Chains A and B, each alone.
Chain A
Amino acid sequence: MKQSRRNIFKFAGGAVAGAFFTPAPWRLITDTALWSESWPGIPRPVRGDVTAKFTNCGLCSAGCAIRARCVNGQPVSLAGLGGGLCPFGLTAHHLPFHPARLTQGPVEEATAAVKARGTAGLAILDLNPGRTASWTYRRAMASLKGSYLATADPVAYDLSSVRTVLSIGTPLLDGWGTPSKVFPARRNFRLIQAEALESRTAVMADQWIPLAPGTERIYAQQVLATLRGRDTSPVAAQLKANGPSVVIGDAPEVAEINRLLGAWGKSVVARAEAPAPDSWRKEAAPVTALDTLPEGSVRTLLIDESAAASYIPWDRIAPKLTADALVVTFAATKGGYVRHATYALPIAIYPEFMDDLGPAADSADPAWRISAPLVPPPAAVANLAEFAGALAGISASNTLRERAGAIHKAGLGTLTNYATGNETALKEVAAEDFWKVLSEGGAWQNVAAKRNPPEISTAPLVPAVVGAAPDLPLLAIREPAQPALVSPLMTKLYQESNLRLAPNRVALHPDEARAANLRDGARAILYTHAGRCAVQVTVDSAVPPGSVYVGSSPGIQDICSPAAHAKVVPA
């Protein structure tokens, strides 16, 4: 047969077609993918002895008990003890390697700048109050005549003995409390969730009451009016009939509702702190609410963003500062107040730091737990407690041990050892053993402590009004806050799958998105009266028309308070 170019091409074409009916091309695709798993630079799991370490999760004040599976001392998986663990906690061992983590900062330059400013107009903003570090800040501020600013929630709830719970917009089953306490208690109470969106808590509730966006407070007033005999709310009737009942929510009317239901002082109590040395209490500056500070009174502001329990929008902080104010933030990420600070100093993060945990929202009894480090922190991190302590001449290096000593001296309560599962009366534990157990994974709790009712606000309850803003036609619904840093793995599984709204996203009803000429995934600008913020759009038919469901990034929180009037336009 004569060889021609045409025949060569035909033969090659036949060979290519035939190759698709052999394992070769498919196998090469798989092999190449497997080969790429072992490229240089791809992390390889460590090999070695498998051990368990115990600690308490330091991502939020719930402080879940943790068992860390470690290989050669390196944690490779985390699990909750005595109950569940939230998705953020499950993957927290990834955080030391987070690409958005702040790892460098001008520590010496910032120290010199703060010292040069002197102590006039000095303030510390503590976003995670109730810790031993908070006591150090208060002592330092008392010594330096500065202000200690904090936004502690004074109320704790005991859900173990209630039969009906009305939650007005609170993410009760989604990060509000400790899963190991909330979920066992959940079996015994009927949960009524009243909020605009069918949230993750609403899905798991016995009854979801859809509210119009921004009307949570009006709903609370209706419940209150029914309890006072001036209105008819079927839910209020249920609360009275199926007691003991409790209402959880941010509306100012909630305290009075709980008082009328008889929950005040029983299942709603003042959040109790563990004992602290008497000398600390005598030397501590009072807790000052940010809003009570005179405008332009702060020359130097030090911010502790460590495991922040809340975020205060910058437009509430900025008016309190002088024009030339020095702002130094101690932060784990570049996303929070770093955008507004003169200096940003890196801090150790969970599971690197050694810190205690403030009282949790569902902890009616005083408790004390330490988040003991599972891995060492990087060398260059700063610590605001030591920074402020050095300014005031107070040693902050041994305060946790001193606090443990004060608790042990009081001799009340019990100590739980996570490694053995034993619970021992504190009176039977030596001081050294108490510290050893706490610092290696344990918890102290005093369930016999007297419970006190929280202070009730004397501010008059004024009728709630939902205003109108023709230029901003949407009402904002806020995603529950999440830790400042979450594992990139959770970003993939939880946010890109839209199981949880990513911090920089907003969700719109399809009709609203169509009207604004926005499609799913589009870049857009979120406008409110407080400013504008670049966002990405998710189109979701679960979002009520007339509203915009917004993520919890600091940039969005800076401009968008809950129920704020807003609009979303293409970028």
Chain B
Amino acid sequence: MKFRGIIVFVAGVLVALGAGWAGFPRVIHQTRRQPVDFSHQIHADKAGSKCDDCHTFDAVGRFSGVPELEKCSGCHAALMGSTAEEKKFVDQYVTPNREPEWLVYARQPENVYFSHITHVKRGNLKCEKCHGDHGTSNHLRPYQEDRISGYSRDIWGTATRPAMTMDACVDCHRQSHLEHSCLDCHK
């Protein structure tokens, strides 16, 4: 056949495209579940919580990140609602006083120093600017960990959620004319 060689070549291209776009992301990431399927939406709607009620700054301006069990136990010493996830949280973590091992979607490399208070208080950035709609989600999405680098897939961003890579930081700083030096983040 005249075009047999081209067909074989194109078949190879198509197989690689399929594997690269559909298969590779499944292979490179392993999916891990959060200890409890926390609902930001319920806490925002029913309890009227705001982001900084739980994700607080301490006296010297450090960001507490994920709240510790002590913070949750303040309200959830006993069941407040009727969901299975809350019951699981109280039974498995609050009652035995065991810290849940939350998986942090936004975890950055060790050589990066990121000041939340500078961005929130001085830069007046909303949490959604970097964290997207995470604060209104009803379920915690699966944590997809890159098998090689160990980082969350979230740092690359999606169509609805901004990336948290160095390029994304630099782009934003460039737009705001706040480019300073490498040492600002890599202290």
Contact = CB atoms under 8 A, between A and B. Distances in A.
Contacts of B13: 14-15, 17-18, 21
B20 A18 contact: yes
B109 A34 contact: yes
Contact of A18 (B12, B110, B146): B12
Classify the interface of chain B: helix, strand, loop or mixed: helix
B19 A22 contact: yes
B14 A18 contact: yes
B155 to A, nearest CB: 10
Contacts of B60: 50
A116 to B, nearest CB: 50
Name the residue in A6, A11, A13, A21 with the highest tally of chain B Cβ atoms < 10 Å from its Cβ: A11
6 contacts: A7-B8, A10-B12, A13-B12, A23-B25, A31-B146, A38-B150
Interface string A15-39: 1111101111001101110110110
A1 B148 contact: no
B158 interface: no
A173 interface: no
Contact of B16 (A10, A14, A31, A32): A14
Interface in B9-61: 9-17, 19-21, 24-25, 28, 60
Contact of B148 (A11, A19, A22, A28): A28
Name the residue in B60, B109, B110 with the highest tally of chain A Cβ atoms < 10 Å from its Cβ: B110
B9 A31 contact: no
A38 B62 CA distance: 25
A11 B9 contact: yes
B153 to A, nearest CB: 11
Interface residues of B, number: 31
B148 A21 contact: no
Interface of B: 4-5, 8-17, 19-21, 24-25, 28, 60, 62, 109-111, 146, 148-151, 182-183, 187
Contacts of A18: 12-17, 20
Contacts of B109: 34, 37
A399 B62 CA distance: 40
Interface residues of A, number: 34
Contacts of B15: 11, 14-15, 18
A1 B24 contact: no
A300 to B, nearest CB: 45
A429 interface: no
A76 interface: yes
A187 interface: no
Nearest to A76: B187
A449 interface: no
A12 B11 CA distance: 9
Contacts of B19: 19, 22, 24
B9 A14 contact: yes
Interface string A27-68: 110111011011000001100001000000000000000000
A-B CB proximity, top 5 nearest:
A22-B20, A14-B12, A18-B16, A18-B13, A34-B149
A11 B10 CA distance: 8
Nearest to A25: B20
Contact of A22 (B8, B10, B16, B149): B16
Contacts of A77: 187
Contacts of B183: 90
A10 B9 contact: yes
A562 to B, nearest CB: 33
A45 B111 contact: yes
A439 B12 CA distance: 72
A429 B104 CA distance: 50
Contacts of B25: 23
Contacts of A35: 148-150
